[in-house]
Structure 1
Amino acid sequence: MPGSGTDHTKPRLDLAGPIVVLVEPQLGENIGTAARAMGNFGLSRLRLVNPRDGWPNIHAKRASSGADDILDNAELFDTLEAAIADCQTVFATTARGHDQAKPVVGPDQAAREISERATAGQTVAVVFGRERWGLTNDEVGLADRIITFPVNPAFASLNLAQAVLLVSYEFFKLSTAGALPFTMPTKSAPAGKEQLFAFFADLERELEKVEFFRPPEKRDTMTINLRNIFTRMQLTQQDVQTLHGVIMSIAEGRKGPARGGVLDGQEAGMLRALLAEHAQGRVPNERGPVRGLSRLLRRNPTDAERALWDGMTKDRRFAGRGFKRQVPVGPHIADLVSFPLRTVIDLVPDQEEDAAGAARAEKCAWLSARDYRVLPVRTAAIQADVAAVLDDLDAAIGSATSEQ
C-alpha cells in the first residue's frame, strides 16, 4: 500500500529537463532533499561539485525519501567549470545581485527558456550555490542567465532543496501543462431537474406541515430561496437521494417509517380490514380523522408493507420517485403514493370481505377519476418474491412516465 503520495507501481516520469548542479554542498541531508525535490518533478540528472563531506553520503540517501536512483547516478566533479563543460546554456541561482550585466529571470521565465533550449537539443544546467553564502561572483560569471526568486527582500535566503524545488516545479508545470495527478472522482451523475423537482415537492410539503412558510405572503420568496440553496450546490443523484432520505427520516420520526407502533404484523392487518369495512373511518369534509388514521397505519405496518417498503428504500430505481407510506389523498388513505408521479400502489390482501372490497373499489375509482394511476399489488406476491414485485412496479412506473 503506497503511502505519502509515493507509488512505485506507477511509471516514473523523467523529463528532458536541465541538469541540476550543486556547488560544494555542505550537508548530505541537503543533497538528499534536493534529490527528492528533483524526483517530485521529473528531473533526474544531478551533478555535485566537491561536496564537503565526501561522496557517497549515507545521510543524503536517508533524506532522499526514495530518490535513490538520482543519487546513485549523480556525477562528481572537482570544479564548476568541469561540471558545466558540456553545457550550451547555464543558469545561476542567487538571492543577491552580483552587479553583472546578465539577464535576470524568475523561475517561471527560466522554465520557458530551459524548455525551448532543451527542445532545440541543447544541454542546459541550473547551478545552485553553497548553503551559507551561495555562489561567488566568479561562479555567477560562468553562467548565461541569473535566476532569482520573488521573495521577501529582507529575508531572501532559501534552503538549498527549496530553491531546487522551485525551479523543478516551474519546469514540470510547464512541461505537463499543469495537469494534476488526480481529480475528484465522479461516483454519481449530476441530478436531473425531474429528480430535483420531486425532492423540492417533498421538502416543501413536509415544511408546509410544520408551518415553516410564515407569514403566508412570503411563501413564494422563501420557496425560491430554499430551492436556490440546493441548486447552487450542483447536487448529484446520490446527493439528492441522501437528502431525500434525511428529510423523510426527520418528517416520519425517530422510529422510522417501517418500525415502531404497538401492533405486530397480524394485528396491523386486522386493523386495516376493520377500517376498510367501515370505509376507513372517513368523516365527510374533515381531514383530522383521516390524518390521524394515516399516522396510526404508518406506525403499524403489516408484514407485507414492511417488506415492500424495505425493498423500495434499498432499490435505487425508486430513489427520487417520491413514494410515501400511508398518506391521505383526499378522503382516502393510500398505501403508497408518489405525488410527483401521481401514482398509487394499492396493496390487496389475500382475503377480503365484500364491504372491504367495495370500499377499495370506491377508493380506486376516486383516485383514477383524479388522474392517479393505481397499481394493485397482492400481498401474497410480496411475500413470495419481493424482487419480482419491484421489477413489475418499476416497469409499470417507467411505462407510465414515458406515456406522459
Structure 2
Amino acid sequence: MSGTDKTKSGLSIDGPVVILVEPQLGENIGMAARAMGNFALAELRLVNPRDGWPNIAAQRAAAGADHIIEKVALFATLEEAVADLDLLFATTARAHDQAKPVMSPEAAAQEIRGHVTGGGRAGILFGRERAGLTNEEVARANRIITYPVNPGFASLNLAQAVLLMGYEWFKLATSGALPFAMPERSERASQEQMEAFFETLVRELDRVEFLRPAEKRDTMLVNLRNIFFRMEPTKQDMHTLHGVITAIAEGKKGPAKGGVLDSEQATRLRALLAEQGQVASLPDSSGSLRGLARLLRRNPTDAERMLWHALTRDRRFAGQFKRQTPVGRQIPDFVSFVHRLAIELVNKEESEAVVADRAARRAWLESRDYRVADIKVADIETDLETELARLQAIIAEAK
C-alpha cells in the first residue's frame, strides 16, 4: 500500500478479463490481483487453482486489492471460464507452432482497447507458474502475446506477466497520463529580475576582485550569465539567490536571522508594519527606525526591485534616489533628497490601515516640503517605462 494516496478514488475502466489457468501458489494469485489493481483491471477468473479457493495466502499477498480478491470467479475448466468472451489472448514465452498472430503487449493492448470500446468482451490467459499454457489451451486463443525479454532467461513470474500486460493496457487507456507533475511553486523570473540579480552578483564579485585578469572579464561574465539563464529560474529562485549573495557579502546569518522573504511575504510585512503604526510608539524610535529600514531593504517586493533596478541604471535617475531610507520618523519606499521627492508604491486592494498610514506619511512629508508621487504596483509590472517618464516629468516640474 506504500505510495497510495487514500484521498483519491480509483479509476473505473472497462478492460479485459484476466484468467489464471491452474495457478499453483496463493501468493502469486494475490500478487497478480495487486498488479491488476495498480492498473485498473478489475475482473479476475481462476481455473482450478491447485490449493483451492478462497486462499488466505492470496488475500495477504494482495496488499489491499480486496475489491478484486472478493469478486474472483472460480471455474472448473478453461472452456467455462472463457465461454462469454469473443476475443481471447494467450500469453506465452514459447513458440507453440500455431498459425495465429503473435503480438507484443503494447499491440495487444491497442487491439483490446478498440474491441472493448466497441462493446466486445476480451480476456487474457496466463498459464501455470511451472509449465505455462498447454498447446490445447493456446489453441483456444485468437491471438498470442509474448514479451520482448532476454531469450536466455525468458521466464516471468505470474504476477510480473500480469503487471506488464496491465501496464500497457492502462497506459493506453489513460493516454499515458502521470499521476502528478512537478509543482509550479513560482512564476518564471522575468528578464528584469534576472538582470537585477546579475548586477548584484557582478558588483560583489568585483568587490572581491574575482573577475581577473581584466582581459578575461568579458568572457567570464558571459559564462556566468549563461549558467543562470540556462537554469530558467523562477521568481522564488531569484529571491533565494539574492539572499545568498547578500548574506555572503554582508556576513549575515541565514533566514532564521533576518533572511530574504519572497515578494508576497514582503508585501504582507509592509502591510503589517503600517497597521501597527511602524515605530512611532516604540521606545528608542531612532534605533528601531534604522533597524526597520534595514529589514525593509533586505526584503524588497518584486515591484520595488524592478523600480530600484530601473532607477539605478537609468541615466535620468542614477544616483538620485535611495530605497527604504528614513526621512525623520518616516520611511518612504524611495526618496530623493536632491529633488526632495518621495515615491510611494500602491498595492491592489490595500486595507484601510495601510491607506491611512500612507496618507499620514504623505501629510508629514509634505509639511516638510517633500513632494510625494504615488505609483501603482500594477503599473510598474505592466508598463514601467511610462511610469519612469511620468517620474521624470514630476522632477522637471520643480526646476
* TM-score of the aligned structures, taking structure 1 as reference length: 0.73
Shift of residue 215, structure 1, vs aligned partner: 1.3
Alignment of 1:115-264 (within 5 A): 115-254=113-252
Task: Tell whether 2:23 aligns with 1:45.
Answer: no
Distance in 1, Cα, partners of 2:288 & 2:307: 22
Task: Tell me: CA distance 1:75–1:395, structure 2 relative to 1, closer, same or farther (3 Å).
Answer: farther
Task: Tell whether 2:312 aligns with 1:339.
Answer: yes
Distance in 2, Cα, partners of 1:374 & 1:206: 29
Shift of residue 374, structure 1, vs aligned partner: 5.5
Task: Tell me: CA distance 1:394–1:226, structure 2 relative to 1, closer, same or farther (3 Å).
Answer: farther
- Which of 56, 59, 79 does residue 58 from structure 1 map onto? 56
Task: Tell whether 2:327 aligns with 1:348.
Answer: yes
Task: Tell me: CA distance 1:320–1:229, structure 2 relative to 1, closer, same or farther (3 Å).
Answer: farther
Match of 1:333 in 2: none
Structure 1 residue runs of 5 or longer lacking an equivalent are 261-300, 325-336, 352-360, 378-383
Q: Does the 8 Å contact 2:375/2:387 carry over to 1?
A: no
Q: Does the 8 Å contact 2:47/2:76 carry over to 1?
A: yes
Task: Tell me: CA distance 1:59–1:230, structure 2 relative to 1, closer, same or farther (3 Å).
Answer: same
Task: Tell whether 2:295 aligns with 1:310.
Answer: yes
SS in 2 for 1:339: helix
Task: Tell me: CA distance 1:375–1:256, structure 2 relative to 1, closer, same or farther (3 Å).
Answer: farther
Shift of residue 243, structure 1, vs aligned partner: 0.4
Shift of residue 211, structure 1, vs aligned partner: 1.1
Distance in 2, Cα, partners of 1:226 & 1:95: 55
Match of 1:90 in 2: 88
Aligned residues: 327
Q: Does the 8 Å contact 1:191/1:235 carry over to 2?
A: yes
Structure 2 residue runs of 5 or longer lacking an equivalent are 259-285, 345-352, 363-371, 389-399
Task: Tell me: CA distance 1:319–1:170, structure 2 relative to 1, closer, same or farther (3 Å).
Answer: farther
Task: Tell whether 2:33 aligns with 1:11.
Answer: no
Task: Tell me: CA distance 1:322–1:247, structure 2 relative to 1, closer, same or farther (3 Å).
Answer: farther
Task: Tell whether 2:387 aligns with 1:403.
Answer: yes
Task: Tell me: CA distance 1:320–1:30, structure 2 relative to 1, closer, same or farther (3 Å).
Answer: farther
Distance in 2, Cα, partners of 1:108 & 1:60: 28
| Paired letter, 2:164 | L
Structure 1 consecutive aligned stretches of length 4 or more whose deviation exceeds 3 Å: 254-257, 311-324, 340-343, 373-377, 387-402
- Which of 364, 371, 394 does residue 337 from structure 2 map onto? 364
Larger Rg: 1
Match of 2:103 in 1: 105
Match of 2:272 in 1: none
- Which of 8, 13, 28 does residue 30 from structure 1 map onto? 28
Match of 1:273 in 2: none
| Paired letter, 2:293 | L
Task: Tell me: CA distance 1:136–1:256, structure 2 relative to 1, closer, same or farther (3 Å).
Answer: closer
Q: Does the 8 Å contact 1:102/1:146 carry over to 2?
A: yes
Task: Tell me: CA distance 1:132–1:304, structure 2 relative to 1, closer, same or farther (3 Å).
Answer: same
Match of 1:327 in 2: none
Distance in 2, Cα, partners of 1:218 & 1:40: 57
* TM-score of the aligned structures, taking structure 2 as reference length: 0.74
Q: Does the 8 Å contact 1:105/1:146 carry over to 2?
A: yes
Task: Tell me: CA distance 1:200–1:231, structure 2 relative to 1, closer, same or farther (3 Å).
Answer: same
Distance in 2, Cα, partners of 1:111 & 1:18: 9
Task: Tell me: CA distance 1:86–1:314, structure 2 relative to 1, closer, same or farther (3 Å).
Answer: same
Shift of residue 249, structure 1, vs aligned partner: 0.6
Distance in 1, Cα, partners of 2:69 & 2:161: 18
Deviations 1:261-294 (A, max 9, x none): xxxxxxxxxxxxxxxxxxxxxxxxxxxxxxxxxx
Task: Tell me: CA distance 1:226–1:185, structure 2 relative to 1, closer, same or farther (3 Å).
Answer: same
Distance in 1, Cα, partners of 2:75 & 2:207: 82
